[in-house]
């Protein structure tokens, strides 16, 4: 049963990205991630170094955001963010695409930007997730982004930041899976709050979810598997 639990817990990137989160809440969030042995903690960049220290010697990866939440940083700034994040111990980078350039059809810019950050991540042996922010995009734009990310061999394509006008939808997940090769994983973010929602998106081929309701999801999982509660 513990193996079944771990398959679920290792799908979760525990999100600590609220701009009003306090330092004590950040610390508690890292400890929660360790107790439930999730996949990663996705944390604000300023706290990444401390997060990496807390997670050291565990199987929980420190991760952070690049160009968050609107993707409007210059390429140079995103590159510097990525470089600093890796110096601070980041193992997975969640980068927001430049939404204005996507909506403007400036695909060369978009491809160059994703390629630049992907190279920084991969040359350091780390992984990258590219956030589309689907709520603002047409189906054609989402498909074009899937193809660009596949050609650049990014590790995940991700639905949302959780701070746009909409979050994950089942239709988007089906579209992203259909237009991404198997080597590109899918991350669902923005609205996964229950175990049943997580299981539903897993059935569509999702390998990671971003969640702040981690404890609720995983406590439900342990109850259903008749496992003892996790104490913090």
Active site residues: 94, 158, 187
Cβ pair 213, 194 in contact under 8 A: yes
For residue 84, with 0-12 CB atoms within 10 Å meaning exposed, 13-18 middle and 19 or more buried, which class applies?
A: middle
Cα–Cα distance for residue pair 156/163, rounded to 1 Å: 19
Cα–Cα distance for residue pair 178/161, rounded to 1 Å: 21
CA angle 222, 28, 11 (to 5 degrees): 45
Partners of 210 in the β-ladder: 13, 189
Q: Residues near 218 by Cβ (< 8 Å), separated by ≥ 6?
A: 5, 8, 9, 12, 36, 38, 195, 230
Residue of 120, 34, 28 lying closest to 12 (CA atoms): 34
Cα–Cα distance for residue pair 202/145, rounded to 1 Å: 21
Encoding tokens for residue 7? 């398959």
């Amino acid at each position: 049963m513990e193996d079944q639990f771990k398959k679920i817990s290792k799908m979760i990137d525990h999100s600590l990205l609220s701009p009003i989160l306090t330092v004590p809440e950040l610390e508690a969030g890292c400890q929660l991630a360790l107790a439930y042995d999730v996949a990663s903690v996705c944390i604000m960049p300023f706290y990444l170094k401390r997060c990496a220290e807390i997670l050291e010697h565990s199987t929980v990866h420190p991760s952070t955001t690049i160009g968050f939440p609107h993707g409007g940083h210059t390429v140079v700034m995103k590159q510097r963010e990525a470089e600093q994040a890796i110096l601070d111990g980041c193992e997975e980078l969640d980068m927001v695409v430049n939404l204005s350039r996507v909506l403007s059809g400036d695909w060369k810019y978009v491809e160059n930007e994703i390629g630049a950050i992907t190279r920084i991540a991969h040359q350091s042996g780390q992984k990258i997730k590219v956030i589309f922010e689907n709520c603002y995009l047409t189906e054609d734009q989402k498909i074009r982004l899937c193809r660009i990310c596949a050609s650049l061999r990014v590790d995940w394509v991700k639905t949302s930041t959780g701070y746009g006008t909409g979050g994950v939808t089942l239709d988007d997940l089906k579209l992203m899976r259909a237009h991404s090769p198997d080597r590109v994983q899918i991350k669902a973010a923005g609205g996964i709050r229950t175990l049943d929602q997580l299981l539903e998106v897993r059935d569509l081929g999702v390998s990671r979810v971003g969640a702040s309701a981690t404890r609720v999801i995983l406590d439900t999982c342990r109850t259903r598997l008749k496992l003892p509660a996790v104490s913090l």
